[in-house]
Amino acid sequence: MFTKISSFTSPRYEDFDWKTVLLILFLVALFIRFPFFFRDYIDRDESTFIIMGQSWVNGHLPYTELWDLKPPITFLFFAIVIKLFGKSFIAIRLCGTALVALTALFTYGMATKITSKKIAFWCAIFCVFFLSLFGSLQGVMSEHICTFFFMAGLYVVFHKEHKIWYFISGLLLGLSVMSKLNMAYPVLILGLYLLWTGYRDQQLWPTIQKLFAMGCGTILMVLLTALPYYLEGNIHVWWQSIFEAPLAYSEGKFHSPLKTLPFLIVILGILTVGFSKKLIDWNTRELQILTAVVVGILLSFMQAGKVNGHYLIQLYPLILIPFSMILGKLPRPKKRYNPLLVLLLVLIPMESYLEFANIVSNKIEKGSFYNGEGIDVPKYIAAHNLETKNIFFTEYHIGYWVLNENPPTKAATHPSNVIREEIFPYLENSRKTGMEELRYIMEVLQPKTLVARDGKKIFDKKLIEYNAYIDSYLAEHYTLVEKVGRGLIYQRLE
């Protein structure tokens, strides 16, 4: 992938300045991600972040009106976009595209420190691919936000030495941690590594000064997120929701460190082979830093007890640099294989091509580029004047945002949180169990309208008791009034 793009063109990578690289990265990211600008939702978490951001725009701090298991900077990103551009899927996804391009640019800037501009450029291009394809990565995830801040902070460590710059790096790393808490692991490992190298190189005191500046920046950013809660007298809400609840969640019954071991072995195995075969130089400070922070992220995955596809966003920019260097040391493919390499490069964004076809088809069929049950179901509800008070979306919950409604309870902000009993104490919730919460929604609030998904159980199939209860309750108290795509719209019987 580092050979000539074709036999007719051979770009001079040494002539690329950072503005040119950023423009190319943004255009590639825009091409890949643009067709998904019109999708109702790509991942349920993104829908939750949008709802939380809207609540903040409406004047409610995160965790006070609605609740989700992420630090506040994630919600602040969405709140700022909504405040500036209104309720716009396009604005949210366009800002996500900018995050991807900038993250790839910082990856490029770090790679140029230890390898050629050619390898760094293609590393950045593939960073865009890996942050935008394969699963639910076309949406704007908390991992996109925290990785952007982390890579910016790490870039400063790569290129700057003055204490002021380390303070700025600390601010950026603090923003990363306050976007997704598991980033505290690589930040801590980074600090320990820098301290060890300072001791090893007999530069301990200057290193301690720089780390103190970095630490002050990180702590300051964490404390700044607490300030609005302190001013409202809700500092306990900030502490419980950001620090205590994630620890309780990671100890949940569906999480196990053993599930992450195969993934950890593969990543560390490739790095070990690269170093042992001298395809990458272990003595390079920057590669040691990358390895250290990769280990920190992998440790955070073990602590979480699972590795979802979007978690890997945090790893991709970091591992692509050494992996690209390894590939750059391998023998070049013969020129006759260049057309095949070009074809593979063109085929990588296949998901984007399919989505382009989908939005065109939706425009022809329904008259709108916007598509998905999260848009079509609320449109049907509004057009038929169905009751939306206490409406309960067990699926397609971006519909709350489209209809200007709130979830029926804090725990229902993300539909799966209804059954996560381990986090209930931190919601200031009077219900103690998931079944109590579900019964409260169905039997006390009694939503007139409920939305589910055809062919899918409302709760995880392992949760037999929950599914049995809601299936029987729907059969007795609700009637199916319409099926919109795969969306099922139920109305409560009088």
Q: How far apart are CA 54 and CA 62, in angstroms?
A: 10
The answer to whether residue 335 sits within a structural domain is: no
Enter the DSSP assignment of 451.
Answer: E
The answer to whether residue 409 sits within a structural domain is: yes
The answer to whether residue 6 sits within a structural domain is: no
- Residues 417, 420, 421, CA angle at the centre, nearest 5°? 130
The answer to whether residue 355 sits within a structural domain is: no
Whether residues 29 and 118 share a domain: the answer is: yes
Question: At which of 274, 307, 330 does a domain end?
Answer: 330
The answer to whether residue 339 sits within a structural domain is: no
Q: What is the pLDDT of residues 237-256, one digit of tens each?
A: 999 999 999 888 776 655 56
Whether residues 388 and 308 share a domain: the answer is: no
- 384, two tokens: 């038929």
Q: How many independent structural domains does the chain possess?
A: 2
Whether residues 30 and 156 share a domain: the answer is: yes
Q: Would you list the DSSP string of 210-232?
A: HHHHHHHHHHHHHHHHHHHHHHT
Helix axes 18-33, 350-366, angle to 10 degrees: 50
Whether residues 22 and 146 share a domain: the answer is: yes
Q: How far apart are CA 280 and CA 277, in angstroms?
A: 8
- 10 Å Cβ neighbour count for 123? 27
- 224, two tokens: 């700044």
Cβ-count burial of 475 within 10 angstroms (0-12 exposed, 13-18 middle, 19+ buried)?
A: exposed
Helix axes 18-33, 117-130, angle to 10 degrees: 30
Q: How far apart are CA 377 and CA 450, in angstroms?
A: 11
Whether residues 388 and 297 share a domain: the answer is: no
Q: How far apart are CA 281 and CA 300, in angstroms?
A: 26
Contact in structure between 300 and 331 (CB atoms under 8 Å): no
The answer to whether residue 448 sits within a structural domain is: yes
- 10 Å Cβ neighbour count for 472? 10
Question: At which of 275, 308, 330 does a domain end?
Answer: 330
Sheet holding 449-453, edge to edge: 392-393, 449-453, 487-492, 478-484
Handedness of CA 359, 361, 362, 363 (dihedral sign): positive
Q: How far apart are CA 422 and CA 405, in angstroms?
A: 27
Whether residues 202 and 115 share a domain: the answer is: yes
Q: How far apart are CA 418 and CA 44, in angstroms?
A: 14
pLDDT in single tens digits along all 494 residues of the chain: 444 434 445 678 887 889 999 999 999 999 999 999 999 988 899 999 999 999 999 999 999 999 999 999 999 999 999 999 999 999 999 999 999 999 999 999 999 999 999 999 999 999 999 999 887 889 999 999 999 999 999 999 999 999 999 999 999 999 999 999 999 999 999 999 999 999 999 999 999 999 999 999 999 999 999 999 999 999 999 999 999 998 887 766 555 666 677 778 888 888 888 888 788 888 889 999 999 999 999 998 888 777 777 889 999 999 999 999 888 887 777 777 778 888 888 888 899 999 999 999 999 998 899 999 999 999 999 999 999 999 999 999 999 999 999 999 999 999 989 988 888 889 888 888 999 999 999 999 999 999 999 999 999 888 899 999 999 999 999 999 999 999 999 999 97
Cβ-count burial of 3 within 10 angstroms (0-12 exposed, 13-18 middle, 19+ buried)?
A: middle
Whether residues 318 and 382 share a domain: the answer is: no
Q: How far apart are CA 199 and CA 346, in angstroms?
A: 48
The answer to whether residue 361 sits within a structural domain is: no
226's CB contacts (< 8 A; 6+ apart) are 235, 238, 239
Contact in structure between 452 and 394 (CB atoms under 8 Å): yes
The parent domain of residue 63 ranges over: 13-330
Question: At which of 276, 300, 330 does a domain end?
Answer: 330
Q: What is the pLDDT of residues 327-377, one digit of tens each?
A: 888 777 777 777 888 888 888 889 999 999 999 999 999 889 999 999 999
Q: Would you list the DSSP string of 73-102?
A: HHHHHHHHHHHHH-S-HHHHHHHHHHHHHH
Would you give the distance in Å from CA 439 to the centre of its chain? 32
Q: Which of 90, 92, 101 is nearest to 37 (CA)?
A: 90
3-state secondary structure 123-150: HHHHHHHHCCCCCCCCCCCHHHHHHHHH
Place of tokens 């931190």: 426
Cβ-count burial of 185 within 10 angstroms (0-12 exposed, 13-18 middle, 19+ buried)?
A: buried
Enter the DSSP assignment of 334.
Answer: P
Contact in structure between 52 and 68 (CB atoms under 8 Å): yes
Q: How far apart are CA 236 and CA 63, in angstroms?
A: 11
Whether residues 246 and 325 share a domain: the answer is: yes
Q: What is residue 9's predicted lDDT score, i.e. its pLDDT? A: 52
The answer to whether residue 319 sits within a structural domain is: yes
Whether residues 191 and 262 share a domain: the answer is: yes
Contact in structure between 352 and 35 (CB atoms under 8 Å): yes
Whether residues 247 and 388 share a domain: the answer is: no
* Residue 432, φ and ψ in degrees, nearest 5: -100, -20
Whether residues 316 and 388 share a domain: the answer is: no
Whether residues 378 and 318 share a domain: the answer is: no
